[in-house]
Amino acid sequence: MQTGIVHFGPGAFHRAHQAAYIDTILQSDPRWGIAAVSLRSPGTVEALKAQNGRYTLAILDAETRFRTLQAHNRFFGPGESEGVRALLRDPSVRIVSSTVTEKGYCLSGDGTLDLGHADIVHDLATPEDPVSIVGWLALGLKDRRDAGLPAFTGLCCDNMVSNGKKLRAAVLAYSERLDPELARWIADEAAFPDSMVDSITPATDDRLRALVAAETGYDDIIPVSREAYASWVIEDVLPEGSPDFASAGVVLAKDVGAWERAKLRILNGAHSSLAYLGLLIGHETVADAMADSELAAFVEALIRSDIIPSLEPSPLDLQAYAGEILDRFRNPAIGHKLAQIAWDGSQKLPYRLLDTIREALESGRSVDRLAVPIAAWILFVRRQAHASAAIVDPLAARLTEIGAGEHAAEDLLALRQIFPARVAEDSTFRDAVLSAVSAMRQEGPRARLTPNA
């Protein structure tokens, strides 16, 4: 098996989703082995190396199925940058993909590169020793240009609207600061397709390890699990010589936007709403929250009456898609923890809920129900801060400081890293959020779940 793909961020989602598709491709075309690269921590790549890239995928449905995957064949952790750089120069490598979460791309609230981000400041000062995915892509493309090699394709697999376009713009903005000629070469030669990925993937825990050991007889330290449903849509701009993604069930589309927006707003928007409301009520998992009839009815109304209108017209059957998602949320075999979904709210809310809210305001539609999950996030931050409990978020220190203050709701809405002025300064939205916060503080987290509340 050759190495044809370099992947930054080989976490559970990548290994349960993209690697499963690539494993299928490898059955007929051995050129597309994946090199796993972790820029921050060695744990996953060391475990993959110890198991020669082998691990178990548990597909959790009415009946659990197990699949052995072995799509990764090279492994690089922190301190192995020379090996990564050499690999990016290898002409066999045609795809450089990434799942580093929204925060890993060092973008500002408006989706452009944050030139003041500490990682970008570091990389611009020492471009031969990058720490960011943007810096690594630029360095790898520079080396290929200098060697007379074709550009590789940058394939973002994280949940961001227009993720390929955003990544391309970030790499170009970064490269322009270092070498305008390099930026022009990248703009002319490198593809950055938009993509949409979808499959609910719970975090790996000891319960999963025990299940895999009991059912397969393999003492796997890094198994992964996901629901049976999986979808991957890639913009059809891949250059000649790319993997045959379609043969593994990937959809190649001229415009990924419809799928992307539907997934981000319906599935991810509902997930975040369930997470913050469910945690305040006392639920632990998505399935638990969906078993709460009042909360489930609220989320369904949010999707069908508030989110879907922001996506129309669409080539997709959005109401049917919504029904599928609600059924997937109810899957009792998926122990998807609400606390995990609540991580990194400052990075997720703009894409998952605030874009919908902005469009509703511009169209004159009500935002009363859409304001409720925002209020729940504010109360979640406030609760964590007052309990001296951890907030997993790149803005954790600032959120904790504000959440502990007397005017937490108003001050959180003033954070422009999260809330753009055109939304936060709209009196309709602001009043709806503050009213919901007040009601939920006085009457409890269920105060705004009923239609007439």
In the chain, where the domains are located: 3-253, 257-443
Which burial class, exposed, middle or buried, applies to 96 when counting CB atoms under 10 A from its CB (0-12, 13-18, 19+)?
buried
How many other C-beta atoms lie within 10 A of the C-beta of residue 149?
16
What pTM did the predictor assign?
0.80
Q: Give the side-chain half-sphere CA count within 13 A for 27.
A: 10
DSSP string, 309-352: GGT-S-SS-HHHHHHHHHHHHT-TT---BHHHHHTTHHHHHIII
Q: What type of residue sits at position 366?
A: S
CA-CA distance, 429 to 85, in Å (whole number)?
Answer: 48
* 257-443 is classed CATH 1.10.1040.10: yes
pLDDT, residue 452, reads 55
User: What element of type H or E holds 276?
Assistant: helix 269-281
Pairwise CA distance, residues 179 & 132, whole Å:
18
Cα within 13 Å of Cα(163), Cβ side: 29
Burial class (CB in 10 A: 0-12, 13-18, 19+), 83: middle
| Rounded Cα–Cα distance for residues 210 and 308 (Å) | 40
Average pLDDT along the chain, 453 residues, taken 10 residues at a time: 96 96 97 95 94 96 92 95 96 97 87 94 97 97 98 95 95 97 98 94 91 94 94 95 96 90 93 97 96 97 96 92 94 88 93 95 96 98 96 95 95 94 95 97 95 56
pLDDT the model gives residue 451: 67
Q: Report yes or no: 437 and 378 within 8 Å, Cβ to Cβ.
A: yes
Domains 3-253 and 257-443 equal at CATH topology level: no
Indicate the SS3 state at residue 155: strand
CB atoms within 10 A of CB 70: 16
Neighbouring residues of 86: CB distance < 8 A, sequence distance ≥ 6: none
200, two tokens: 């609910």
Task: Tell me 283's DSSP state.
Answer: -
Which helix (H) or strand (E) element contains residue 383? helix 371-386
Q: Which CATH architecture has domain 3-253?
A: 3-Layer(aba) Sandwich (3.40)
Question: 7 Cβ partners below 8 Å, 6+ apart?
Answer: 14, 18, 19, 34, 35, 36, 37, 96, 97, 98, 99
Asked if the bond preceding 127 is cis, omega within 30° of 0, the reply is no
Q: What is the DSSP string of 52-79?
A: TT-EEEEEESSS-EEEEE--EEEEE-TT
C-alpha radius of gyration, the chain, whole number: 22
Identify which of 187, 195, 159, 158 has the alpha carbon closest to the alpha carbon of residue 171. 187
